[in-house]
Amino acid sequence: MLLILLGILVTCIILLWIYSSPFYWKRKGVPYLFPLPIFGSNLPSLYMSNPDFFDYLYNCFPNEKYFGFHFFMKPTLVVKDPTLMKEICIRDFEYFTWNAQYANENDPFSQNLFFLHGQAWKDIRLKLTPLYTPSKLRVINEYVDNCMIKVNKSINEKIQSNESIHFDKLTIAIATDVIVQSVFGIESDCFEKNSRFIDISNQMFSDSSNTKILLSMISPELNDFFKLNIFSNEVNNFIKNILEDVIKHRESNPTNNQDFLNLMITMMKNRKPNDEKYYPDKSIVPGNDFQTALAQALILFAGGAESSAMTMAFFLYEAALNQEIQDKCRDEIMAIVNETGTDIRPEDVNKLTYLDMAIKETMRKYPPFILMTRKCTKSYLLKDTNTVIEPGTLVVSFVKSLQWDPKHYPDPEQFIPERFADKSLIDPGTYLPWGLGPRTCIGKNFAKMEMILVMSRLLRKYRFTLSPKTAVPINFSPTAAVLKPDPGIYLDAQPIN
């Protein structure tokens, strides 16, 4: 009996493999990695970290502009050519309007901007865009000032006790505190020992959540069948309860603040009944109700904390490793501080050209998200070929691998802010930490403002050096969705008079 069951299982696996079309890319005349049953081209990922696995794939066809592989059983096109990537993400965006991530309709996360596509994505992006105008971003200065009181206290305590600072943990607290103020308009417990906000942030990027996002890309049908929520009920309920409380308080105590809460309250008040569940392009019609607001709060909280935090931690790691770069950044900051008599303000940010270059180089060397995805939504003919990309096909770019390619950035392992001295020399198709095209990260300017304000205040007050506990070169977490140091970045701080 056992042998019969085993035979049935093996037969099912073989049939699934045949169904997944192992010769899919060969028939299209595209160079490809031959897929294995079930695993597709992903078998090396079982013993490699995500960054190493993507580097391995990127280098499989060194002279090709693109190649095919199977993301488990999903046919996927890897694009290495910057010009082709720009065509897909910008010129021919209408064929690739979907990021490829998916959540079933009952998931509180399903209506978030990042997961939506088509007309639904346009609707929500249009509603959120007013949050990121230059005049609205000035309020970040207040959030950062509130946060830095706690940051300085934490750093000074470590200095007094002669301890190294676990900086990627500290920057998580900083970025989460700022995003809590921004999205919910409340103080956070991020700098307390058992912070609930930090716990929720960690759960959002757990292996469980990452696996469900991966499954949603490979097989949305399975996600629907099992009714999988990307985040746990604990995460969803925590954010839901806070959002309900702060909206109720804001409605009872109205303000003129043009922030996230007021934007969502206005959206819900102006909601119009709509009998249509889907747009003609099959994207779901957003309800413009509390569920829509909750989905945006979830994505802003998840996307606004971890990525900014890791960029700030990696920047300080490089600043500690390269003291002359740290000095240049500090000299530029102090020139403005001595002129104005205050900390760097939003109106000063554009004057910090070298610090900006150093942060750009940080995101070149350590892009927060090392994989950029698009899903083909209608048949697309690759330029100058007879190859048609069919609807449903995944298109990916390995961001870190691309940005470490010596063809685009000589000596890629070196930290050289001067690469960005002349913007015209940077091909947008080779620099993708924020994405590319209309689906570029909507919070890009918020994150840049936050990082520059925080880094300028830290460099003004402290000199940072590497702790012996920090690995050089740095190692990366093997499974994290966001590029993270493993085991961490530890720095020593000395106060500057």
Q: Which residues are annotated as a binding site for heme?
A: 441
Nearest Cα to Cα of residue 16 among 42, 45, 36, 38 = 38
Nearest Cα to Cα of residue 462 among 326, 362, 355 = 326
Q: What would the two tokens of residue 143 be?
A: 């959030």
Query: How far is C-alpha 354 from the chain's CA centre?
Result: 24
Contacts 24+ apart (CB under 8 A), 261-268: 261/183, 261/184, 261/185, 263/127, 263/128, 263/130, 263/131, 264/292, 264/293, 264/296, 264/297, 267/127, 267/292, 267/293, 268/293
Query: How far is C-alpha 214 from the chain's CA centre?
Result: 15
Q: Is 88 exposed, middle or buried (0-12, 13-18, 19+ CB in 10 A)?
A: buried
Nearest Cα to Cα of residue 442 among 136, 102, 181 = 136
What is the tally of helices (H) and strands (E) in the chain? Answer: 18, 9
Name the 3-class secondary structure at 79: strand
Q: Are 346 and 141 in contact (CB under 8 A)?
A: yes
Backbone φ and ψ of 404, nearest 5°: -105, 10
Helix, strand, coil percent content, the chain, rounded in steps of 5 = 55, 10, 35
Name the 3-class secondary structure at 382: coil
Task: Detail the residues annotated as belonging to a binding site.
Answer: 441
CA distance 282 to 21: 26
Q: Are 287 and 268 in contact (CB under 8 A)?
A: no
Q: Among positive and negative, which fits the CA dihedral 472, 477, 478, 483?
A: negative
